Structure 1
């Protein structure tokens, strides 16, 4: 009985025993995340861990091997799409657009002050000098952009060539044994069991039913079955290295800045113990690297620096677990997004929307409605007519609302069904003091009292209060 309970707890002595005796099994998520380690650190892992300390103890299920090969090129190219492409498209682009915007505004200023027969009029010498400086800055910026883009292109070429000289792939092929591939009928049998397991949230893998198709819905379960089979054959305990940190595999540590595995799910520990009579535990990749310092190396041996492991862990967390904001319409990054309401002054200047900022909004949807989650929106104002432009938090299209539309419902231009309402303060001439509201699109005006109400499907045309007062059947 005591032995049965001990399998769910990790102690120092049990951990030492596992590191000494176990088969180290990598999931595809952990293998793929090795690409995010700096190359020098990867080389240390391959040489010191895989070759010297764990030779003959590294194994992956055939389905892990399949998932790794399927996703490796996409992961290899992630630094291009997630790191270098934004530098080119957003940062460098924003620098150029900012300078162009300053030039445009200065020209606007010049055109407003150049006529000596009416106010405002200013001498043009200083303005012209400044425009010359700006033009020189624009030329320097073009040269700067060209130099930086060339550097980025060289780095991107190195990354694109990596699939042809892939050190991670070489390490997998050299140091890992690969389990047998299951045939079609074996996989079908697993899917039959999987339907029952997923219906009752029995781990692993039941969370994948939401966003995967076909056999891949049961990919984690296939991997798990292959691990159990191999453990039965070898009669060796299993340390599973997995970066797929979902509740259908494990529990996470509480109150830590980095996501770390606290323990595998009890169902997994019991299942593999009952089926194969072996111990089972899990670490994520950064935990594996950290624990290896303690259990694989003596104090005078070269190991991976703990600070590097911490930085790596945070990088992986940012890539996978941070709640990233939804991508917004590119239009709000454009310095010259033209106003939907005006043409600017007679010279064609000033009719663009600027001063984009995130603005709090009042949301009148009930908490049960899917539109209730929006509490802010990006807004900008036209340089010339001051028309308010709102980027819809739902569909990201931009709706222009001029001063005459304040205190009225205005439907989102994107057709998503959201209505905006700019509630103004008449004492401030409806200009600078207002609140932005999202109105429940189901709201109707009561034919009896004139107040708005939410029609619950009765289609009576009167609110609940009036219905009760006048006895109208609903």
Structure 2
């Protein structure tokens, strides 16, 4: 009879030991995507080591819903780490460019002022920029290789992904979800009113409204245990933080899994259900799974997870009504080409044989972001040719500065990916502006 109250009373210590010895482990999409956001190679490998060990012992399973959301979202997360460092570097490097422009404009507008005594400012910023490049390169080198992470996760998922639901089952879950969400029955009810999840995800032979994604996942986890010839407890590892998964204290700290989830799982499967966030899972894995992981590795994972959470918490605050809306990564490319001048230049960089294809695509699609990405991929040869030609001209005025630019931009040469070519385009704009200033002064 007491099992009817496990959602409220929780488990005994002896029960936790038994659960860890027998449970099937499930990872959420956000745990997989976070691999691309970690800045420590040690943290990445430590967590992968645990998951690989669980897979080897046939104790790791991934619901179809988790895999589907992962494959829909992994590409947009692969460059998260580099984007942060590159954004920081670009913004700091602007200081020197802005200072140079100020001195030149002052010299042009007020020729009777002696600006030579203020050139020390530029010289010191040049030295700082050189040091900045060195530090950025070191930090970028320390980042985990996202291509390797992609391949490792692909190998990890191979053979352990569950089957999808057919459309009839999804329709049933969505119909049930409307009633559940009406009474705040977890999981997923916190997605009500989330405009980002009002749309539908369509793939293969089914579609579902994204506000019911968590509920579909929950049903798949229950069915996996309920339909198994040898049912086992389940341990779910997730970075979810909403109240439709957890109970929180008055300070918004997570206390325990939502009791309705725990009890529903027990009632429908006759098996226990436990939920952890990443760092707690790693801590207990060290204790219960006898995996060779040091305390330092546990600390590294904890630090990386907390850093990701802090960043996302700040971004969530920026997205709230109290803060101006943040430009997210998906909107970055579209915003960069917000001006007619930039769009025209991008088209000018297209190879002649691709221009007609561009206008055909323009008439067929309303997704301009994807069209800009296509243009960047097709134009990389001409973009590279332009930036290298500008650097040769720039070398005439500032040889040392041109060498620094070349060193900084060299990793982005000859890449078809969109973001490296946007970086080159931004520097094309900067160098063109500086050359225009120099040419006008010479004239």
The reply to whether residue 245 of structure 1 matches residue 245 of structure 2 is no
- 2:437 matched to which residue of 1? none
- What are the Cα deviations for residues 115-144 of structure 1, in whole angstroms up to 9, with x where unaligned? xxxxxxxxx7xx454145456557667777
Contact (CA 8 Å) 2:181, 2:189: kept in 1 or not? Answer: yes
Partner of 2:324, secondary structure, is coil
| Separation in structure 1 between the aligned mates of residue 280 and residue 61 of structure 2, nearest angstrom | 18
Q: By how many angstroms is 1:34 displaced?
A: 2.6
- 2:117 matched to which residue of 1? 130
- 2:4 matched to which residue of 1? 4
Partner of 1:40, secondary structure, is helix
- 2:271 matched to which residue of 1? 278
Larger Rg: 1
Contact (CA 8 Å) 2:85, 2:140: kept in 1 or not? Answer: no
- 2:67 matched to which residue of 1? 65
Contact (CA 8 Å) 2:65, 2:216: kept in 1 or not? Answer: yes
Q: By how many angstroms is 1:273 displaced?
A: 1.1
- 1:172 matched to which residue of 2? 156
RMSD over aligned Cα, in angstroms? 3.6
Contact (CA 8 Å) 1:34, 1:168: kept in 2 or not? Answer: no
| Separation in structure 2 between the aligned mates of residue 168 and residue 62 of structure 1, nearest angstrom | 18
TM-score normalized by structure 2? 0.60
Contact (CA 8 Å) 1:60, 1:178: kept in 2 or not? Answer: yes
- 2:167 matched to which residue of 1? 184
| Separation in structure 1 between the aligned mates of residue 149 and residue 307 of structure 2, nearest angstrom | 24
Which runs of 5 or more residues in structure 2 are unaligned?
Answer: 201-207, 328-443
Equivalent of residue 324 in structure 2, options 301, 323, 326: 326
| Separation in structure 2 between the aligned mates of residue 210 and residue 140 of structure 1, nearest angstrom | 51
- 2:349 matched to which residue of 1? none
- What are the Cα deviations for residues 202-254 of structure 1, in whole angstroms up to 9, with x where unaligned? 11111223221232121000000000101112321111111121111112366
Change (3 A) 1:133 1:316: closer
Q: By how many angstroms is 1:59 displaced?
A: 0.6
Change (3 A) 1:92 1:317: same
- What are the Cα deviations for residues 293-340 of structure 1, in whole angstroms up to 9, with x where unaligned? 222227x864553431331232121132233453689xxxxxxxxxxx
- 2:414 matched to which residue of 1? none
Q: How does 1:20-419 map to 2 (within 5 A)?
A: 20-37=21-38, 38-51=40-53, 55-81=57-83, 83-98=84-99, 100-101=101-102, 103=103, 107=107, 114=112, 127=114, 129-131=116-118, 133-134=120-121, 136=123, 151=137, 162-163=146-147, 166-174=150-158, 177-211=160-194, 212=197, 213-214=199-200, 215=208, 216-234=210-228, 235-252=231-248, 261-297=254-290, 302=294, 305-322=297-314, 323-324=317-318, 326=324
- What are the Cα deviations for residues 270-291 of structure 1, in whole angstroms up to 9, with x where unaligned? 2111111111111111211122
Change (3 A) 1:47 1:242: closer
Partner of 1:247, secondary structure, is coil
- 2:359 matched to which residue of 1? none
Q: By how many angstroms is 1:54 displaced?
A: 6.3
Partner of 1:239, secondary structure, is strand
The structure richer in strand per residue is 1
TM-score normalized by structure 1? 0.56
Contact (CA 8 Å) 1:41, 1:304: kept in 2 or not? Answer: no
Q: How does 1:456-471 map to 2 (within 5 A)?
A: none
| Separation in structure 1 between the aligned mates of residue 121 and residue 51 of structure 2, nearest angstrom | 56
Change (3 A) 1:137 1:194: same
| Separation in structure 2 between the aligned mates of residue 154 and residue 221 of structure 1, nearest angstrom | 39
Partner of 2:35, secondary structure, is helix
| Separation in structure 2 between the aligned mates of residue 133 and residue 320 of structure 1, nearest angstrom | 40
| Separation in structure 2 between the aligned mates of residue 163 and residue 276 of structure 1, nearest angstrom | 39
Q: How does 1:428-467 map to 2 (within 5 A)?
A: none
How many residues matched? 306
Change (3 A) 1:140 1:210: same
Change (3 A) 1:79 1:97: same
| Separation in structure 2 between the aligned mates of residue 52 and residue 227 of structure 1, nearest angstrom | 17
Contact (CA 8 Å) 2:187, 2:215: kept in 1 or not? Answer: yes
Change (3 A) 1:14 1:251: same
- What are the Cα deviations for residues 160-183 of structure 1, in whole angstroms up to 9, with x where unaligned? x84477244234324x61111111
